[in-house]
Structure 1
Amino acid sequence: MKARNIAAAALMTAAGTGAVQAQSTVTLYGVADVNVEYANHVGAVPVATNQFNRGQGHDVVRMNSGGLAGSRWGIRGTEDLGGGAKAMFVLESGFSLDSGTLQQSGRMFGRQAFVGLQRAGLGQLTFGRQYTSMFEALANFSPTAYATQYEPVVLQSGANFREDNTIKYTGQFGPVTALAHWSFGTGLALPATVGVATPIGGNGEVPGSFRRDTAYGAAVAYAAGPFGLTVGYDQWNPTIGTSSGTLRKAAIGGSYGFGNAKIMAGYRWGQNKNAGGTVIQRDDLYWIGALYQLTPAVGLTLEYHYDDLKSLAGATQLANPWQIGFVANYAFSKRTDVYLTTAYAKNAGLMLESLATVYANSLSLGNSYALGNGERSMIGAAVGIRHRF
């Protein structure tokens, strides 16, 4: 992404601040991404307002914001404090380009909002709303790079992949990146749905309770030459009833590049327990895919996900969800491209949306990918344009 740099000196006019102005920068950046999509067998997200009924599946044709990347605008900045130390901040707002409304539950800076300090050789420490360590580490091992339209990111990294009230450490040591984080209260609340009798999570920190709605995780990534590898762990302790559950995930991913191609693969172990310690979900997610730069302007991506769903809400005889997705994009320039994205999902909606994800994708995007009653598959295709600034 080519960003527009704005010198801090342009924002400050007071005399005697020349030294600070010369060492401080603020960057304005963003993405505007919109598409028109067709999908079939689409039902309603089963929540209390519709008596937990997905209804009949329908074909839909609709405009969406975010196909290859979530539409956003942001500001980031740094100040050189001397001696290899810097202060830094990021404020990033997600919005729906088709309607102009805010995403991430109406937060002004719902994608990211943090401030921190960094020092060469030691790393950086940041405070605020941030991505989890495992989510960030897996970003370079997901072939479609977390494409908004059909990537099953919630099943992979958890609905809590962004968390409020978070302290995060990031260290870069040659080819190795180390990450660790702690959230005092994730700020994620999911409503009750079919198979889930009570809401999950809460709106933030819980006074008098050190554990409820907290979360933590860590990850290590290695990248050198054509080879990459990462491992990570994530745990969320959401409010369930009057106590807290335990949602755990661990993942490993690898990549290898050669010529104009790159292959990626990964595995994610998952186990969710309710407040009483009973397992409510256990699964193993696998993925593999490849990128190929056909010409300097044309890029192709193919990705496959398979979830071995061992148990869910007491059921053990379950049809395993899987999805195959394909993306083709044509770049007019480094900033503007057009694309076709399509996917087919079996035993779940697109993005592998089902009770296993607590329908968090649909609730977040505002467009349902829940299967209609009696349906077993869903196909979708979208044509869009993306501009980065």
Structure 2
Amino acid sequence: MKTRSTVMALMLGCPLAAAAQSSVTLYGVADVNVEYVNRVGAVPVATNGFNPGPGDKVFRMASGGLSGSRWGLRGAEDLGAGWQASFVLESGFSLDSGTMQQSGRLFGRQAFVALQRAGIGQLSLGRQYTSIFEALANFSPTAYATQYEPVVLQAGANFREDNTVKYTGQFGPLTARAHWSFGAGLALPQTVGIATPIGGNGEVPGQFRRDTAYGASLAYGTGPFGATIGYDQWNPTIGTSNGTVRKAVVAASYAFGPAKIMGGYRWGQNKNAADVVIQRDDYYWIGANYQVTPAVGLTLEYNYDNVRSLFGNTQVANPWQLAFVANYAFSRRTDVYLSTAYARNAGLMLESLATVYANSLSLGNSYAAANGQRSMVGVALGMRHKF
């Protein structure tokens, strides 16, 4: 829904002159489903003695299956001579309960202001997605579906960061991105095997590197072929110092007729505050989209993580997952879907100590495997409306 600046100024109580020659768009997604998951345990944190407990099946309503539920405001103003100012304010919420997500932030998904010009690029400041996350968006078969996509394992728990300066440039078929965060603003609680919480608010006086983050990516797309490369680093608080979380990726896609195949590889290495490697893995994914009819779409995705070392353990059983999505579109805005996944040697979304259970903590629904369990199945039937 697009509203002229005069109407928005009246609604927001702003002077009309301040909004001259501007436009503001209200947009959003409402996505909710009913889900079944088996062998679910509790996220192992201090309050439960780091014990996931016995497994059991669960039937629940969940917000966000194919897309995270959200609403947002996007505005732009033509400044002349090819320059444009813009902003994005995007709030995530749980449709099943009406509560805010992203740790209760008002605009937890995105909140930034930008200045751009064609041929030069865009400079944006605020809470934003990382370069590597945006670079991989077109190479994720399920398009970063909220349920079952191993997004934390792939792009990192820090895929959104506070206090970020970001550059985006579009040069024909090539898109370049680079960002720097003065303080990522991500805090993960202490969990089994980890002696202290990880991360924090950052921007600590006298400790410039603490909680900083940065990355860059290049994406190429022309005709049926696409490819991307990227690097991401987060320096989270650990105790009174910081560690390093590093990722590098390469991915490609090819479309033919009603089908598109895509896949990629992500290298990962995490170190503690003493510069000792605490995690090293190689993550792979491959999948395909097939548009059976204009209304019916199918998606299949396989994910595999080769865990070379995890807190000194070099004999970790490698987790893998197979996911399938079928959706039917009633219109451009409304569709229904069936989403299902099977994970082995981890919970759904490949949730485990390797992800610090960040998916479950963020969504508010546990996908942690219970004691003694090595597999998990999830099935969700839902509806999504875009506005």
User: Where do 1:16-165 residues align within 5 Å?
Assistant: 17=17, 21=20, 23-165=21-163
Q: Deviations over 1:77-134 (max 9, x none)?
A: 0000000000000000000000000000000000000001001110000000000000
User: Where do 1:278-297 residues align within 5 Å?
Assistant: 278-297=276-295
CA distance in 2, matches of 1:80, 1:360: 40
User: Where do 1:181-200 residues align within 5 Å?
Assistant: 181-200=179-198
Q: Secondary structure at the match of 1:370?
A: coil
Measured after TM superposition, the shift of residue 17 of structure 1 is 4.8
Moved over 4 A (4+): 12-18
Measured after TM superposition, the shift of residue 11 of structure 1 is 3.0
Which amino acid in 1 is paired with 2:341?
A
Q: CA 1:72 to 1:12, structure 2 compared with 1: closer, same or farther past 3 Å?
A: closer
> What is the aligned counterpart of 1:243 among 218, 241, 244?
241
**Aligned twin of 2:368:** 370
Q: Deviations over 1:176-225 (max 9, x none)?
A: 00000000000000011001111000123212211000000000000100
Q: Deviations over 1:244-289 (max 9, x none)?
A: 0011000001000000000001000000000111100000000000
The share of aligned pairs that are identical, in percent, is 77
Q: CA 1:371 to 1:15, structure 2 compared with 1: closer, same or farther past 3 Å?
A: closer
**Aligned twin of 2:2:** 5
Measured after TM superposition, the shift of residue 16 of structure 1 is 9.0
Unaligned runs of 5+ in 1: none
Q: Secondary structure at the match of 1:138?
A: helix
CA distance in 1, matches of 2:261, 2:16: 53
Which amino acid in 2 is paired with 1:35?
N
Which amino acid in 1 is paired with 2:338?
L
Measured after TM superposition, the shift of residue 24 of structure 1 is 1.5
Q: Secondary structure at the match of 2:354?
A: helix
Q: Secondary structure at the match of 1:385?
A: strand
Measured after TM superposition, the shift of residue 55 of structure 1 is 0.2
Q: CA 1:361 to 1:16, structure 2 compared with 1: closer, same or farther past 3 Å?
A: closer
| 2:306–2:319 CA contact under 8 A, matched in 1 | yes
Q: How many residues align?
A: 384
**Aligned twin of 1:315:** 313
- Residue 199 of structure 2 is aligned to residue 201 of structure 1: yes
> What is the aligned counterpart of 1:175 among 149, 173, 176?
173
User: Where do 1:335-354 residues align within 5 Å?
Assistant: 335-354=333-352
CA distance in 1, matches of 2:322, 2:203: 38
- TM-score of the two chains, using structure 1 as the length reference: 0.97
- TM-score of the two chains, using structure 2 as the length reference: 0.98
Range moving further from structure 2, 355-364 or 4-13:
4-13
Q: CA 1:366 to 1:122, structure 2 compared with 1: closer, same or farther past 3 Å?
A: same
Q: Deviations over 1:1-54 (max 9, x none)?
A: xxx111113234799959x74x31100000000000000000000000000001
CA distance in 2, matches of 1:34, 1:46: 26
